[in-house]
Every structure is written in C-alpha cells, then in structure tokens.
Structure 1
C-alpha cells in the first residue's frame, strides 16, 4: 500500500474552488514535484496534507491513518515546511531547534542527541551558537528544514523550499532532500520554478486552477500530452575554422532543403533546427530524422563538429499538459 493516498480532494472558499478533485499516491522513498503557477492550489493542498486545513470533500490516508477523521494519529508522521518561515529574535540555532524538539515531546538525552543529529545532517553544527536572525537565507532554510526533521517524520511537505536561494544553496538543498529520500522518507516539493525540480524529483504532479492535470514520470506525462521524450529540435555546430558567413549560410540553406525541417536559425556559434514530426513521435523516429540531416551535411563537405537533439524536460511537460487550459 502507498504511504500517502489522496482521493478526490476538494477545497472551496465560498464560491472559489481552490482544489478540485485532486487524487494521487506517493510511495516511501520517492520525491514528488508538485508543479503549478502561483494560485494553482499547491499551498492549499499542502496545508490540507499537513492537517492545517480541512477539505470540503475527499479523503487523505497517511500510512493507513485518515487525516480527516484521525489527524492526531497522522501528525507525528508529517513534517511541514511552509513557504515563509520566521525565526525568533535573540535565539541561537541550537536554542531554536531545542525549543521545537521540546514541543515535539522529546526529552533529556534523546532530545539533545536528536537536535545534534539534525544539526549535523543539515550542516548547522558550526552555527549552533549563532543567532538565527544573523543567518543568510540559505542557512535559515536549513534551520527550517532541521525543525521539520526533529521528530523524524515519514512524509515531508516542503512549500517553495528553494525560493530566494543562491545557486550553491539550491544545489546543497537538493543533496539534502535526495539523502532524505534515500532514508525512506516520502517528499513532496511544491514549486512554480520548474528547473529546480528537474534533477531531484522521481515523479511530478501538474496542477492548474485547482485541477490535477497529470501525474507520473516526466516521460509518461509527455506521452499523455501527445508529445515525445525528445523534442524535435536539433543543435548543429560547425568547426571553429568555418566562421565565414558563406559557410554558415550554405549549411542553413541545405538544412532548409531537407524534408521535415521547418525552421533554421543561427544563435551564436550554433544552428537551431526545428523539425515537424507526427504527434506521438518517439525517440527512435527523431534519431532517424536527425541521421538523415547529419548525412546530408557531411556529404556536402560542411565541417560539422557537434550535432545533438535536445531532451525534453519538466518545462516541456508542463507546457504540453497545460496547453490551451491556462487562463
């Protein structure tokens, strides 16, 4: 049985339906990217999963416990990190985490060992005696994540955890989350920044205007939307000695003469080539079309030094699934 089961979740605020018939499951050890624009219903869904709000209709089961009928049994299994998380003035990192460890009912040696373990895992040990108000945004996010981990929850709900972080802090956060999943925890990350989820999520769920449009691996979602795992777009680079405009113009003209090529444009030191293929075309068909183009270029004596197809990503999946649906 899946660790988390969400069935027909709906949340109305008067005449506004913020969440509309959302259903999905999540296994232990998996990371789910909850994707959608601002106002799509992500935070409302996470608040319901955190037992901070009650759905109008629907059911949520966490390890067999109903979040609606028995929230007290489910809460010890949940770690929730909201999108905005404040700290207290004149409190050190250790004091902050120790306070919440006490709130979670941890006592004595067990509490101290748990706080120290969480600080070590999140890289906060050197900052134990530093005031939380003096920390950078990235370190404050680590403190917030540490607080979320103190009671060793099985499900982590993270709302925009990388918002405002610099590139290094984002990479370090991804590494922490991957380590948590490897420990067997289920993780849901809500975000509207698709690139930050691409390298960490096992699966994704795309929500728009309160409705869940697709769930699954990126490749599966692309197939659901009538797309393919590889975009019909190629990048062609010529050797450095072929910088004359005449050579580039000849390559561009030759490509435009080939079947299935609908657009060629020079961008810096590369040619971007867009193909027109049948809906649902898979990687094998894209490779075959690309091979024809490469053969034509080489046969014409053009000095091709690089030739590649662009893989589709979360951004493509989102645009494919929401096409024609976004207001």
Structure 2
C-alpha cells in the first residue's frame, strides 16, 4: 500500500534532550492512524516535523512523496494541521474565519464562497456562519478548526489531541466527522490519550515512548502479535466442570479456565488455531454433550495493547 507518510531514522534534539530517537514511520494512504504515547513521548514533535514547523536534527521524512526538509511548500499544500491549541481572532464570524485562511492558501476568490458553505455544512456549522467565533462552544470551535484544515483540500490531516477538553456529545460528533472525512478519501493522523475513542475509528496505530516507536501497523496485526492466541468466552447450561473437561481434549486448545465468581459462570478457552480450529472446537463441545448458549471471541482494546507495550516512562 502506498505510504503518504514515511520517515527514516527521524531524530530530534532539544538541546541535550533526545525527543525523537531514529523514528521510522509508515502511514498508508487512506488510513486513520492513531499515534499513541504518554506526555513527552514525542508525538507533537513528530507532527510538527511532518508539517514543516520543526526541522529534524537527523534523518528524513516525506509527506505525499515530498521531503519535509527540501520541499516544504509542497508538503504544506499536502497537509492540513490542527494543533492541540489554536487561536481565534476577535470580532470575526465563522465564515470570515474560513475566508481568512482561504486567502492565506490562495484559494481563488470565485471558489471561496461555495467552498466555505460546503465546509460549514460538512462540520455542521452552517447555522453558525454569521456567529462570532468567540461565542461558539469548544466543540464548535474544534469543528471550525477542522474545517479550516480542509480549506486547501489536503491529502493528509494531522490532528494533535483533537478531542481534548470536549464533552461526550462533542467527542461523538468529532468521531463521526472523522469517519466521514475518511469516506471522502482523506488520510488522518491523530494523537490522543483517549484510547477507547481511537479504537473505534483507527485502522492503524503507532505507539511511541521516550521518542522510540515501539509498535506500528494495522490494528488487527498488532493485536495478534501481542496476543498470538485467541480467547473465547463460552456460556453453557450444562455442568461447567464437565464442559471444561471436554474443552481440554479439543485440538488447538492451550488452556481452559472456569470463571465462577462472575455472573454468569462461564469458560474461557485459549485457542491457537485458525477459524477452522475454532469451528471444530464448538462442534467438539456439542458432540460431547455440552449445551452451549454463548460462544464469542474476547477482544483486546487499545488500552491493553498500550499497557503491554509501554513501560510508563516519560523522557
């Protein structure tokens, strides 16, 4: 898959402090890439280098095939950046705010009016086009800022903690908006500490700590690499111990646990085979007289992956 972001041994020092340590990123076009790490891990530094706001101390990075050190103008045309904190001017309406950035990006005047209306509709702010920006709620300001990043139709959106400080409803609205942008063909790189929010929207993740990339790739592959076997939760209405004994004799079963301190009582079965082995396990249980009423795979979440990979150390 074609990479829209690629870095090779990307390094950044602040004085004597090493903020990025030979970072090698690969973000495929069309991905929603969740960039995860504790405070001070190097997320914002990476994003600022990719948007040409910082120069690397070593290594190289490319966005849409353009070098961030040698083709800065081309990179800026390809990227829409939404920082973790952003400013608004007083006495400016939402439409005027977008027009200001349309002028800054040299959008032809003949296109501006229709473009601004389309973007306000996309972020559900058409009814606020003539409202003073400073009167908008934080969630509305976030959506307006996202509209601003789209004003020049970039290929890549880089969003630094976009859900920070939002209430639950505003987070849901932002998540749905990002899904729509992906459907429109945008590649999105997003950093956040709200890992459960990222899990629902990301196709790929990268985990960074102390400037080092600890894991990167599509979500399914990373989940499987950290937990090569799958665990299945099984509810039965027959004798639980008898069911456990039957499960233990099936092929590809690594371990069987009986869980009796929660409701309902159940089995947890670790399986290292493919889907055929899983189907055979269910058939094996039924053939041994086990009355199965619930059989489902447990899924790891991003918080579990993050805790497994990181050490909780901030540089």
Shift of 1:285: 5.0
Tell me if 1:3 matches 2:4.
Answer: yes
How many residue pairs are counted as aligned between the two chains?
Answer: 305
Find the residue that maps to 1:216 and give its secondary structure. strand
Partner of 1:111: 112
Q: Provide the TM-score with structure 1 as the length reference.
A: 0.81
Tell me if 1:270 matches 2:264.
Answer: yes
Partner of 2:256: 261
Partner Cα separation in structure 2 for residue 46 and residue 161 of structure 1? 13
Q: Provide the TM-score with structure 2 as the length reference.
A: 0.84
Partner Cα separation in structure 2 for residue 81 and residue 14 of structure 1? 26
Superposition CA RMSD, Å: 2.8
Partner Cα separation in structure 1 for residue 127 and residue 287 of structure 2? 58
Find the residue that maps to 1:312 and give its secondary structure. coil
Partner Cα separation in structure 2 for residue 105 and residue 15 of structure 1? 40
Tell me if 1:127 matches 2:115.
Answer: no
Tell me if 1:319 matches 2:307.
Answer: yes
Listed as ranges, the matches of 1:124-273 within 5 Å are 124-225=125-226, 227-228=227-228, 230=230, 232=231, 234=233, 236=235, 251=240, 259=248, 260-262=255-257, 264-267=259-262, 269-271=263-265, 273=267
Partner Cα separation in structure 2 for residue 185 and residue 229 of structure 1? 34
Shift of 1:281: 5.8
Contact kept, 8 Å, 1:76 with 1:153, in 2: the verdict is yes
Partner Cα separation in structure 2 for residue 263 and residue 112 of structure 1? 64
Partner of 1:310: 298
Contact kept, 8 Å, 2:243 with 2:290, in 1: the verdict is no
Shift of 1:193: 1.8
Find the residue that maps to 1:197 and give its secondary structure. helix
Find the residue that maps to 1:146 and give its secondary structure. helix
Structure 1: runs of 5 or more not aligned: 239-246
107-116 or 184-193, larger mean C-alpha shift: 107-116
Partner of 2:252: none
Find the residue that maps to 2:130 and give its secondary structure. coil
Q: 1:87-140: per-residue Cα shift (whole Å, max 9, x none)?
A: 233322112212222222234222222222211211111111122222222211
Contact kept, 8 Å, 2:235 with 2:295, in 1: the verdict is yes
